[in-house]
Amino acid sequence: MSLTARHLLLLGGTSDIGRAVAKHYADNGWQVTLAARDVEAASRNAADINTRQPDAGVAVEGLDILETESFVSFLDALHPLPDTVVCVVGMLGDQEQAETDPDHATRIMRTNYEGPALFLDMIAARFVSRGYGMIIGVSSVAGDRGRASNYAYGSAKAGFTAFLSGLRNRLATKNVHVATVKPGFVETRMTAGMDLPGALTAKPKDVAERIAGIEIRPRDVIYVLPVWRLVMFVIRSIPEPIFKKLKL
């Protein structure tokens, strides 16, 4: 283990994208801490990376993104404060259930917006007082415009996207970079069973590569597959009177 290794804190260490991001950073010599609610599942990913890459030393910390009161003690216990935090926390949920079950809707909104935003705000303050830091938030193209099929999720992601943009604006002069990543379709457990168009669908590995690329060349907002920038431009350009009648 190198003493000079850079340190990544990854929020959402059990997701497929999280696993790929952790692996990519570990392969590049970073020390990685996976934060996740399900410590056992995160440990499974940590063991996998540590077995494949014996110098990796991936560690696991329990963190429930909905337990916002726990954030301060979690951050106090982090040594060292990471160089980069990547947040891939997300919950697609069930839109139809969210329409009739406020608890489910609340859970989707808090998991995708409230928890991540509050956590990143707190770590941002620590980055600012230290003098540097990198914050990478994985949001979603679903937040670019609300659609009938997933607007509970989409609206929370829209909030997260706006949060990241505001944070970026605030920290632009503070040597803390904030990046927003919009993956588009990704082949993961979250999308298992969906019929996804191949040309618009990335692999978790692609997302990881794009995220790690931000370390070398800081970017503000990226779509993992560039075609999504165009797709979302078109979707945003449709006038609302027409858009509202589309089946999307």
Catalytic residues: 153
Question: Closest approach of Cβ 182 to other proteins, in Å?
Answer: 24
Identify any residues that bridge with 32 across adjacent strands, giving them in sequence order: 8
Q: Judged by CB under 8 A, how many residues of this single chain contact other proteins?
A: 10
Nearer to other proteins, 12 or 159 (CB): 12
Residue list 177-236, contact with other proteins (CB under 8 A): 189, 192
63, 70 contact by CB (below 8 A): yes
Figure out which of the listed residues 51, 100, 173, 237 binds other proteins, where binding follows CB under 8 A: 51
Q: What angle do CA 9, 11, 12 make, to 5 degrees?
A: 140
Is residue 48 a contact point for other proteins (CB under 8 A)?
yes
Place of tokens 């431009």: 233
- Contacts within 8 Å (CB) and 24+ apart, 174-177: 174/127, 174/128, 175/131, 175/132, 175/133, 176/124, 176/127, 176/128, 176/132, 176/133, 176/134, 176/135, 177/133, 177/134, 177/135, 177/214, 177/218
Nearer to other proteins, 52 or 130 (CB): 52
Q: Which stretch binds other proteins (CB under 8 A): 49-57, 58-66, 102-110, 196-204?
A: 49-57
Figure out which of the listed residues 6, 27, 39, 41 binds other proteins, where binding follows CB under 8 A: 41
Residues at the contact surface with other proteins, assessed by CB under 8 A = 41, 44-45, 47-48, 51-52, 54, 189, 192
